[in-house]
Structure 1
Amino acid sequence: MKVAGLLLFAAVLIGSCNSGEPSSGNNEEVVSGPPNLPDTALFRLVQQQTFQYFWDGAEPVSGLARERFHTDDKYPQNDKSTVTSGGAGFGVMALLVGIERGFITRDQGRERLEKIVGFLEKADKFHGAWPHWWYGETGKVRPFSPNDNGADLVETSFMVQGLLCARQYFAEGNEAEKLLAARMDALWKAVEFDWFRNGKNVLYWHWSPDLGWKMNFAVHGYNECLIMYVLAASSPTHGVPAEVYHQGWAENGKIKDSSSYGGYKLGMHYQGNPPHGGPLFWAHYSYLGLDPRGLKDKYGNYEEETRNQALINYQWCVDNPKKYKGYGPNNWGLTASYSVDGYAAHAPDSSSDLGVISPTAALSSFPYTPEQSMAAMKHWYNSELKGKIWGQYGFYDAFSETANWFPPHYLAIDQGPAVVMMENHRTGLLWKLFMSSPEIKEGLKKLGFSSPWLGK
């Protein structure tokens, strides 16, 4: 199955996926936490501990999220300085959650974001877009693959989604906060979305200063990249016309499709043709800020689509057709994550279900499946699994009871959505911030979307 970006990620991951020591932050009380907490206390503890990945665990020079962090000594980690634009964008949103929940103070959050913005202003960028990876100490691009050594518009869009939330959060604050918001606004407006059309009515994922369009990755839906098209249409400085969305992303209507599993229906054509909705991160990454509740266009109902994708994922694990150990109503969640053999896009189908549970899948689905997500979280924390899958930054990235595989490893792109979507379930914080952006409202209208936010 071709998941956007997955093959590129896997190619470098196997070669550079190593481990390192914990950060210097003293968080032992939160790590060890008592068993059988009330639901609200457990919810807060998991969210707070996962947040620490972006606070104590951040790369110290840039302030950005490390691409990955391992807490064992099985493999010597040689890439602790590698930071990620997309995962760090999720981290920007997580910092806002940290302020609101009292994990950090408002001034602490602002100061960290000032460091991040200062890095983004000086770090390598190409036509306003950032690469997938940088070296955190220098801001120089670290190639993601041999031909991917320049701009990554998808990962840039994940960062911009976070920056717009933070801009809105600080826009009416004190003078220091207003200045920070203005700097974020300038970064957003500098992204040349129109350049990434490559002269066509579609957006291209990559561009390199020495290899040009060699990656040749035109982005078509449905996958995790809806946010990129929404931002491109919304940009007040480098916007694209609506036909780029309709002809590129929606492929002149070919994006519409019909499938079902367990009584739950999907209405989109998922890239790679997975039979039951694909890996669950497709229901998360674009919707950390873009509120799917009541969101519709002529191609789909995104509230129903995201919820049903999560419910199908849950039901597949309950049915457990491949008879993996541990699967059930309190132990579910298939998405792209670490896997027993490298990295894989785990999904609810016979070829993509490898017996690996990724906690981020259920945790990030709290807005869609609150009861099912809570059951999984309670089981992981209160059962004998806790000693195998819980650490200083919350639940580890992935595990397999079938393979007796419990690596103490974390990935930014999986930690961030859990913090953010848990908060969206609780208060709608990031949805409120992102959807309050006037450019986003105009961009959604331009593309023919309807949403309760567009009347506000």
Structure 2
Amino acid sequence: MTTQFRYTLLLAVINLPLIMCAQAPVAPQALQATGYEKHVALNWQANPESNLSGYKIYRSTNGGASWEYLKQTGKAPIAIDWTGNEPEGITRHYRITAFNAGGESAPSQPDTADCVPMTDEELLEMTQRATFRYFWDYGHPVSGMARERSNGDANTVTTGGTGFGIMAIVVGAERGWVTRTEAVNRMIQIASFLQFADRFHGVFPHWMNGTNGNVIPFSQYDDGGDLVETAFLMQGLLAARQYFNQDTPLENALRDVITGLWEEVEWDWYRKNNSGVLYWHWSPNFGWQMNFPLRGFYEAQIVYILAAASPTHPVPASLYQTGWTSSNYANSGSHFGYKIYCGPFGGGPLFFAHYSYLGFDPRGKKDAFCNYFVRNRNHSLIQQAYAVANPKQHTGYNADCWGLTSCDGPNGYAAHDIWPANDDGTVAPTAALSSMPFAPDVSLAALRHFYRVRGERLWGVYGFYDAFNLNQNWYAPSYLAIDQGPIVGMIENYRTGLLWDLFMQNPEIAPALTAIGFVPDNTPVTEPEKASALEISVTPNPISNGLLGVDIYLQEAQQLSARLRDLRGSIVQDLLSETPFPAGKSRQTWLVQVPSPGVYLLEIGSNSGQIFVKKVVLH
């Protein structure tokens, strides 16, 4: 029985003036200042006033004898002070005030911090912990879900990004950034919300309203279930189910709810009338209108693993072959000496190597095409080598500044990779940092560069901003859940393998991998497996007489093809087609005909699958 209570408030209006005066806020409490190598992180308890306007930060470098005003922040109780190249040995004192229309509060109690050089391990911890705060501090207050982005509708939460965020919460609990109890409570909040949110045959939409769980259409016809986003969510939930394994009422309840959500996903429904392939979307309003069969290779490999692993709505393991790997899957090409095995030219945007592997541990196993740890390592090294070669001469690209993926850019959100038309000079920190377990040497070098060289504009309260483009002196003001989450999770997999271990402990996973054709593989995961060597050198360059001269170096005889492309990737002139060349050095000269002077790309490929690209300038 529901009891309804009615309250009646009688207001007597009499001839007395009603005066409403805004009062200044109370002083902020519990300020903590934490010093890192190039910045100080400031955190405090949020003020209770509903009419709060924000906070003001003050700093003293003379023991509190005098204070300088640093900046004003919004309502979030978090800020950073970028100290950059200030001299070492400075002890900084901080205090903050709150303000509203009624004035400025008294200052908080001060706290102090020193900035000191940091080891790689300390930089990794710093990056993970700051990025974790995106999901912990900025999680939706009602649902606990991950908001889609920091500069969008604050009620839009993301299904896949929440899966990545759940893994970040597991890491946060393991590393003591929050208590286990706090983490369990947040997980209960998320899982309870998911029980009552919109689902379509057990499959969640791409976006939801974080307050009421209603679907928010991702596009005109995409207002129903999103199987890929749901797979990313389930990957995170299954890792959490293994982590929160204590025999307590809350952890027992959490595991039960996660199991229920997992077992209610109707993977088999998304076969579209029992076809041999899974489909990305289904809508109760538009049915299969989106019509996107999941045929690889891209970020969705985890879908087929989980669909085969489902204890309640499995699909035949053979769908991995008839669906995922059935069409243009293999790629015999190599770039800069690294084989790519499967996927598009150069491997595609680097998130292809991250999203399905936050939980699925690709080490020590292979399918009929490759070992995916090796594939993802090579994908990462190709991108780093591409930044060194820098064929389009983008500002800032070098051995330490690399990483192309889908991210915000100066012209909006877009996918970026090494295909010429897809590279506009936008670098996303998540690309290199989330490759940490695959290519730690070059990923760590990128981390040092992003923080120590670019950090003044690239580092914020939730870690590295989404992207930057030095051609246009542009830095993103935004954070995206799908980019922040892999940073926390993949750095942890590099450091301890925690998320790989947890996800693979689920009893449904190993039999599913065996059923779809994975077998043990002892390929080393430490040394890159380079393809047969092909090197080219263009001399002279720039070219003024139309004669393009190229020195070609081969370790063994091969057939070569060559073409000239413009910077959009369009073929301007075919130069060679499967022409035999001997081992050793050869010299080749072509008379090139281009529509106008400028920068072009010389592409030479071998029958072994290697492709090399060089920038040439034609006057």
Global fold match (TM > 0.5): yes
Deviates more, 1:435-444 or 1:157-166: 435-444
Deviates more, 1:347-356 or 1:145-154: 347-356
Report the alpha carbon displacement of residue 182 of structure 1 after superposing the two structures with TM: 1.3
Alignment partners' CA distance in 2, 1:30 and 1:87: 28
Aligned mate of 1:50, from 128, 131, 134: 131
Q: Judging changes above 3 Å, is the alpha-carbon distance between structure 1 residues 236 and 452 closer, same or farther for their aligned structure 2 residues? A: farther
Is the counterpart of residue 247 in structure 1 residue 328 in structure 2?
A: no
Aligned mate of 1:24, from 70, 76, 81: 76
Is the counterpart of residue 264 in structure 1 residue 334 in structure 2?
A: no
Report the alpha carbon displacement of residue 30 of structure 1 after superposing the two structures with TM: 10
1:395 maps to a residue whose letter is F
Report the alpha carbon displacement of residue 36 of structure 1 after superposing the two structures with TM: 3.7
Is the counterpart of residue 167 in structure 1 residue 237 in structure 2?
A: no
Alignment partners' CA distance in 2, 1:369 and 1:300: 17
Is the counterpart of residue 210 in structure 1 residue 259 in structure 2?
A: no
Alignment partners' CA distance in 2, 1:276 and 1:295: 23
Aligned mate of 2:352, from 282, 290, 303: 282
Report the alpha carbon displacement of residue 22 of structure 1 after superposing the two structures with TM: 5.8
1:260-279 per-residue CA deviation (whole Å, 9 max, x = no partner) reads 011100111x2xxx421110
Q: 1:37 maps to what in 2?
A: 118
Alignment partners' CA distance in 2, 1:390 and 1:35: 17
Aligned mate of 2:514, from 432, 435, 445: 445
Q: Is the 8 A contact 2:408 2:476 kept in 1?
A: no
Is the counterpart of residue 352 in structure 1 residue 422 in structure 2?
A: yes
Q: Judging changes above 3 Å, is the alpha-carbon distance between structure 1 residues 175 and 68 closer, same or farther for their aligned structure 2 residues? A: same
Alignment partners' CA distance in 1, 2:298 and 2:319: 16
Aligned mate of 1:323, from 370, 393, 418: 393
Q: Is the 8 A contact 1:134 1:140 kept in 2?
A: yes
Higher strand fraction (1 or 2): 2
Is the counterpart of residue 419 in structure 1 residue 488 in structure 2?
A: yes
Q: 1:132 maps to what in 2?
A: 206
Task: Give 3-state SS (helix, strand or coil) of 1:342's partner.
Answer: coil
Q: 1:397 maps to what in 2?
A: 466
Q: Judging changes above 3 Å, is the alpha-carbon distance between structure 1 residues 284 and 325 closer, same or farther for their aligned structure 2 residues? A: same
Task: Give 3-state SS (helix, strand or coil) of 2:485's partner.
Answer: helix
2:118 maps to a residue whose letter is L
1:358-379 per-residue CA deviation (whole Å, 9 max, x = no partner) reads 0000110000111111111111
Q: Judging changes above 3 Å, is the alpha-carbon distance between structure 1 residues 29 and 180 closer, same or farther for their aligned structure 2 residues? A: farther
1:250 maps to a residue whose letter is T
Q: 2:187 maps to what in 1?
A: 113
Is the counterpart of residue 222 in structure 1 residue 297 in structure 2?
A: yes
Q: 1:147 maps to what in 2?
A: 221
Deviates more, 1:165-174 or 1:123-132: 165-174
Report the alpha carbon displacement of residue 35 of structure 1 after superposing the two structures with TM: 6.4
Query: Where does the alignment leave 5 or more consecutive residues of structure 1 unmatched?
Result: 1-20, 71-76
Aligned mate of 2:197, from 123, 130, 135: 123
Alignment partners' CA distance in 2, 1:293 and 1:25: 41
Report the alpha carbon displacement of residue 28 of structure 1 after superposing the two structures with TM: 3.9
2:488 maps to a residue whose letter is V
Q: Is the 8 A contact 1:35 1:381 kept in 2?
A: no
Alignment partners' CA distance in 2, 1:404 and 1:30: 19
Higher helix fraction (1 or 2): 1
Aligned mate of 1:368, from 434, 438, 455: 438
1:371 maps to a residue whose letter is D
Q: 1:80 maps to what in 2?
A: 154
Task: Give 3-state SS (helix, strand or coil) of 1:218's partner.
Answer: coil
Alignment partners' CA distance in 1, 2:117 and 2:349: 30
Alignment partners' CA distance in 2, 1:248 and 1:46: 38
Is the counterpart of residue 294 in structure 1 residue 361 in structure 2?
A: no
2:78 maps to a residue whose letter is N
Q: 2:172 maps to what in 1?
A: 98
Q: Judging changes above 3 Å, is the alpha-carbon distance between structure 1 residues 276 and 143 closer, same or farther for their aligned structure 2 residues? A: same
Q: Is the 8 A contact 1:81 1:137 kept in 2?
A: yes
Alignment partners' CA distance in 2, 1:99 and 1:29: 26
Q: Is the 8 A contact 1:30 1:49 kept in 2?
A: no
Alignment partners' CA distance in 1, 2:409 and 2:335: 24
2:457 maps to a residue whose letter is K
* C-alpha RMSD of the superposition: 1.8
Alignment partners' CA distance in 1, 2:432 and 2:202: 34
Q: How many residues align?
A: 420
Alignment partners' CA distance in 2, 1:240 and 1:124: 23
Alignment partners' CA distance in 1, 2:193 and 2:258: 12
Q: 2:553 maps to what in 1?
A: none
Aligned mate of 1:232, from 302, 307, 312: 307
Is the counterpart of residue 409 in structure 1 residue 478 in structure 2?
A: yes
Fraction of identical pairs, as percent? 50
TM score, norm. by length of structure 2 = 0.66
Q: Judging changes above 3 Å, is the alpha-carbon distance between structure 1 residues 31 and 183 closer, same or farther for their aligned structure 2 residues? A: farther
Alignment partners' CA distance in 1, 2:300 and 2:463: 27
Alignment partners' CA distance in 1, 2:196 and 2:82: 36
Report the alpha carbon displacement of residue 210 of structure 1 after superposing the two structures with TM: 1.3
TM score, norm. by length of structure 1 = 0.89
Q: 2:146 maps to what in 1?
A: 65
Report the alpha carbon displacement of residue 448 of structure 1 after superposing the two structures with TM: 1.3
Q: 1:187 maps to what in 2?
A: 261
Q: Is the 8 A contact 2:295 2:323 kept in 1?
A: yes
Report the alpha carbon displacement of residue 255 of structure 1 after superposing the two structures with TM: 1.8
Alignment partners' CA distance in 2, 1:35 and 1:401: 28
Higher relative contact order (CA 8 A, sep 6+): 1
Task: Give 3-state SS (helix, strand or coil) of 2:172's partner.
Answer: helix
Alignment partners' CA distance in 2, 1:108 and 1:391: 24
Task: Give 3-state SS (helix, strand or coil) of 1:338's partner.
Answer: coil
Q: Judging changes above 3 Å, is the alpha-carbon distance between structure 1 residues 247 and 390 closer, same or farther for their aligned structure 2 residues? A: same
1:220-266 per-residue CA deviation (whole Å, 9 max, x = no partner) reads 011100000000000010000022111011117x4223110111001
Alignment partners' CA distance in 2, 1:180 and 1:346: 38
Alignment partners' CA distance in 1, 2:74 and 2:316: 47
Q: Is the 8 A contact 1:389 1:406 kept in 2?
A: yes
Alignment partners' CA distance in 2, 1:194 and 1:349: 35
1:186-220 per-residue CA deviation (whole Å, 9 max, x = no partner) reads 10010000000012010000000111111111110
Query: Where does the alignment leave 5 or more consecutive residues of structure 2 unmatched?
Result: 1-72, 85-113, 523-619
Larger of the two Rg values belongs to structure: 2
Q: Is the 8 A contact 2:403 2:432 kept in 1?
A: yes
Report the alpha carbon displacement of residue 318 of structure 1 after superposing the two structures with TM: 1.1
Task: Give 3-state SS (helix, strand or coil) of 2:414's partner.
Answer: strand
Task: Give 3-state SS (helix, strand or coil) of 1:257's partner.
Answer: strand
Task: Give 3-state SS (helix, strand or coil) of 2:285's partner.
Answer: coil
